[in-house]
Amino acid sequence: MKSTLYRLYEDRLWNEAHAWRMPEHIGIVLDGNRRFAREQGTAVHDGHARGADKLDDVLTWCERLKIRIVTVWAFSVDNFTRSAAEVSGLMTLFEERLRALATNPRIHDTETRVRAIGRTELLPDSVRAALNEVESATRQYTWRTLNIGIAYGGREEIVDAFRRCFVAALARGDRPEQIAAALTPESIEPYLYTAHVPHPDLIIRTSGEVRLSGFMLWQSAHSEYYFCDTYWPAFRAIDFLRALRSYHQRQRRYGR
């Protein structure tokens, strides 16, 4: 009975969703893999693998609603401090899934460009090679974008953007005092990891944590937030649609 009611409710939400105002760009903090695994009584790696599977579902839902840009936070700079066994298992999982994305028919059929954002130089060579493979395989696409935050941190992104801005200005021959005087938010924007896409309209975090933990700190100044109690591997279409309904119901003021 419960599953039938959920299915009817999901169908109703899908029908209603076509009249909602949709975000162009969604950011998602993929949280709760480890807690999901513990509650299921399985190994932590199984939780991460289920979480990787869930991304396929979400991309399908976004395609159905014509949401063109998705940015997911898969692994933070801080995550390197986890146990060596967990980090090693994650790196193996990332390599496998990234190589699979490079040849995934759905990625090519939907003309989705896949890009990595983060300090990828911190990753093992094999993972960097897999990232290069999927980025090269999808480089020609312009219709949809999937940004994968891996070895990503919001503060690190801002620091890196300022560094690149300063290096470019010095290369032009600008003096330090000129660089400082010319600094504006607009002058930093081209050096962000996500300079190729507009800022996120909606940011979703799963697992019940009510914080961003540094996700897209610069870009999220005017984003709408939605916090979902469901762990990422258990994230359902109903949860996703509720987030979109909440976004549709809000009035965005951009500080005005």
* Catalytic positions, written as ranges: 31, 79
Report whether 217 contacts 157 (CB < 8 A).
yes
Task: Report the C-alpha gap between 82 and 97 in whole angstroms.
Answer: 21
Determine how β-strand 25-29 pairs with β-strand 144-152: unpaired
Which alpha helices (DSSP H) does the chain contain, by range?
A: 2-17, 33-40, 44-64, 84-102, 105-109, 125-138, 154-171, 176-182, 185-188, 237-249
Residue 22: count of CB within 10 angstroms of its CB: 17
| Cα 212–chain centre separation | 12
Task: Please give the Cα distance from 39 to 184 (Å, whole number).
Answer: 47
> Buried (b) or exposed (e) across 139-177, using 16+ Cβ within 10 A?
eebeebbbbbbbbbbbebbbebbeeebbeebeeeeeeee
For the chain, the 3-state helix, strand and coil shares in percent, each to the nearest 5, are: 55, 15, 30
Beta bridge partners of 205: 29, 227
Q: Are 205 and 31 in contact (CB under 8 A)?
A: yes
